[in-house]
């Protein structure tokens, strides 16, 4: 074979080898992506919901190791960490886990819905992923969870499930699973960066009404606000304050035996797209950012 033919032969072989390598790469790419995406426990099915553990291959956010996913049957709801007028908040037990420390649930921004008894409950419809915060502590890692939670249709039903992410039963995560987790992580409220202002206190010591100003852009009519405290506080209205701020009216009652004091009040406010949290002192001291 002459030099020109040899060059053509080697060039053809190079192109052929490149084509074969590319074909093998394309055929194996989905497997590589799924293997690198993470893993999930098998679904645990109830009539009203199904739950599983989800652990990405790399931390999806600082301090987050995974999530528990809850998918609800049509017309069912489940609850936030504070249920509102009625309901049962989720309770997580991670004691059977190994190789982790400081495990706890995070809660995406909730919505208010009718609790079926004339009140408002706070929680989620259709589905939610509750991020699991913690860190690896060394040694073989095994994530295990006992979850007590409740779902509500025409009546509320308490459920309990035990989940574990074991190598023998783990299932690969799809890219859609990771996208869904990223969405719920964005819904976890971040600390507000600007201080709140206590504008006024009215009513009686047993039934006070507060107006609090917080920084938030956008239409006040699109905002929700949820107050957590030793007593009871509900949001009565949200209106415009000064530019870039909204005024939230809270009314309620202090807890019995608290001498009319509420203690620290955690206020979650905003929207699913821009969720925030701030701690308030409504007992006469300065309002803290």
* Same domain? 48 vs 168: yes
* Same domain? 137 vs 43: yes
User: Across all residues in the chain, what is the average pLDDT?
Assistant: 86
Helix, strand, or coil here: 242?
coil
Between 219 and 33, residue with greater pLDDT = 219
Q: Please name which of 253, 258, 248 lies closest in space to residue 278, comparing C-alpha atoms.
A: 248
φ/ψ region of 170 (left if φ > 0, alpha if ψ in -120 to 50, else beta) reads: beta
Q: Give the pLDDT confidence score for residue 10 in this predicted structure.
A: 36
* Same domain? 232 vs 171: no
Number of domains forming the structure of the chain: 2
Confidence of residue 119 (pLDDT cuts 50, 70, 90): confident
pLDDT digits (tens, 9 = 90+) for 174-190: 999 999 999 999 999 99
Q: Give the pLDDT confidence score for residue 63 in this predicted structure.
A: 97
* Same domain? 72 vs 164: yes
User: Comparing 45-54, 106-115, 264-273, which segment has the lowest mean pLDDT?
Assistant: 106-115
Q: Give the pLDDT confidence score for residue 230 in this predicted structure.
A: 87
- Given a cut of 70, whether residue 21 has pLDDT beyond it is no
Q: Dihedrals φ, ψ of 245, to 5°?
A: -135, 155
- Given a cut of 80, whether residue 287 has pLDDT beyond it is no
Choose one of 188, 208, 232: the last residue of a domain: 188
Q: pTM for this structure?
A: 0.84
Q: Which domain holds residue 201?
A: 191-281
Helix, strand, or coil here: 222?
helix
Mean pLDDT within 70-78 = 96
Which residue's structure tokens are 């528990």?
68
The residues, ordered by sequence, that sit 6+ positions from 40 with a Cβ below 8 Å of its Cβ are 52, 53, 54, 55, 69, 165, 170, 171, 172, 173, 177
Which residue's structure tokens are 């709140």?
196
For 56-93, give the DSSP string.
ESS-SBTTEEEEEEEEEPTT-EEEEEEEETS----EEE
Q: Please name which of 230, 220, 215, 221 lies closest in space to residue 278, comparing C-alpha atoms.
A: 215
Mean pLDDT within 218-234 = 93
Find the CATH number of the domain harbouring 251: 2.60.40
Query: Kind and range of the H or E element at 74?
Result: none
Separation CA 223–CA 269 (nearest Å): 7
Between 28 and 249, residue with greater pLDDT = 249
Q: What percent of the chain has pLDDT over 70?
A: 85
* Same domain? 236 vs 156: no
């Amino acid at each position: 074979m002459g030099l020109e033919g040899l060059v053509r032969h080697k060039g053809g072989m190079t192109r052929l080898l490149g084509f074969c390598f590319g074909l093998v790469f394309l055929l194996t790419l989905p497997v590589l992506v799924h293997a690198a995406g993470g893993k999930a426990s098998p679904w645990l099915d109830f009539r009203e919901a199904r739950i599983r553990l989800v652990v990405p291959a790399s931390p999806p956010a600082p301090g987050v190791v995974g999530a528990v996913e809850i998918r609800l049957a049509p017309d069912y709801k489940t609850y936030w960490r504070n249920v509102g007028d009625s309901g049962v908040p989720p309770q997580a037990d991670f004691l059977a886990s190994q190789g982790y420390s400081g495990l706890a649930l995070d809660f995406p921004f909730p919505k208010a819905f009718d609790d079926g008894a004339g009140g408002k409950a706070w929680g989620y419809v259709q589905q939610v992923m509750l991020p699991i915060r913690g860190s690896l502590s060394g040694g073989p890692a095994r994530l295990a969870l006992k979850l007590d939670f409740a779902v509500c249709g025409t009546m509320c039903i308490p459920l309990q499930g035990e989940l574990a992410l074991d190598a023998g039963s783990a299932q690969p995560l799809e890219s859609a699973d990771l996208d869904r987790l990223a969405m719920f992580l964005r819904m976890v409220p971040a600390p507000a960066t600007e201080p709140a202002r206590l504008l006024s206190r009215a009513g009686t010591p047993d039934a006070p009404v507060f107006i609090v100003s917080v920084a938030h852009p956008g239409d006040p009519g699109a905002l929700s606000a949820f107050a957590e405290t030793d007593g009871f506080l509900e949001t009565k209205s949200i209106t415009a304050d000064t530019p870039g701020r909204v005024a939230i009216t809270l009314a309620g009652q202090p807890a019995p035996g608290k001498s009319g004091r509420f203690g620290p009040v955690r206020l979650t406010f905003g929207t699913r797209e821009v969720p925030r949290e701030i701690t308030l002192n409504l007992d006469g001291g300065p309002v803290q950012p």
